[in-house]
Amino acid sequence: MTGAAPGAGMKVGAVIITMGNRPDELRALLDSVAKQDGDRVEVVVVGNGSPVTGIPEGVRTVELPENLGIPGGRNAGIEAFGPGGAEMDILLFLDDDGLLAHHDTAELCRRAFAADPELGIISFRIADPETGETARRHVPRLRAADPMRSSRVTTFLGGANAVRTKVFAEVGGLPDEFFYAHEETDLAWRALDAGWMIDYRSDMVLHHPTTAPSRHAVYHRMVARNRVWLARRNLPAPLVPVYLGVWLLLTLARRPSVPALKAWFGGFKEGWTTSAGARRPMRWRTVWRLTRLGRPPVI
């Protein structure tokens, strides 16, 4: 008689936010979730300021009266599974124009979390559905040349991940006020400071078309603003100017266009002149943990 598979009995849910502008892609994603091996993955689709229509029976829906941004929408999806997602053991967060490439992703998540009690978050590999290639920016570590290498990491990809719901119970959800950009790193740093670990897994794949978010001016503003907020909220005081100084130099070295640079500096100023929310600086031992994992919190 064989024992139960690792992770058997762990309840998995999926949170998908949509603005209602990609119905075909959303339906294909829902089909890929429904085809997952093992126990049924419960799903909630959050309409972020838009109605939710054409959804298969059995899928939960939440319609927000206004667009709350990516973290706000995902937080609403978490709460659809009870406070902090407590009805589930694991929550998947998937972009509505993505597609789970394999039928065993949910089962792999169950096994990974069951095998490693310290594991709090898993970042999936994002691959272009046409070429199969993974963009460098989609590998959440500095040494990103080999996207097929799985490893411990210090952050994760927002639209292709799995989170143990105990993480939310312990450190809270995503920062609503960020709206877009760096909300994953904010949660990752808080989780790491609480003792959780994060894995990048190349065998858990989300197909997603390659896009360039930097084409939008709002991208540059929010990236800069939220970078400042991220530092002000989470870093020990001596590291805040170092971290932001390094990112200022990196931004200039990339030689963005004049409009992009203007938007970036506008966001950078906004990050200093507006509230960043509650400040909970990480412990110095967490700084050392991040450094040992290959990404000290100065870059």
pLDDT in tens, 197-229: 999 999 999 999 887 665 567 899 999 999 999
**Largest pairwise CA distance in the chain:** 68
User: Residues 30-43: pLDDT tens digits?
Assistant: 999 999 999 999 99
SS3 call for 280: coil
Beta strand segments in the chain, E: 12-18, 42-48, 60-64, 90-94, 99-100, 119-127, 151-153, 160-164, 197-207
What's the whole-model pTM score?
Answer: 0.95
Distance of CA 3 to the CA centre of its chain: 34
Q: Over the stretch 6-33, which tens digit does the pLDDT of each residue have?
A: 888 999 999 999 999 999 999 999 999 9
Count how many residues are written for the chain.
Answer: 299
Cβ-in-10-Å burial (0-12, 13-18, 19+) of 262 comes to middle
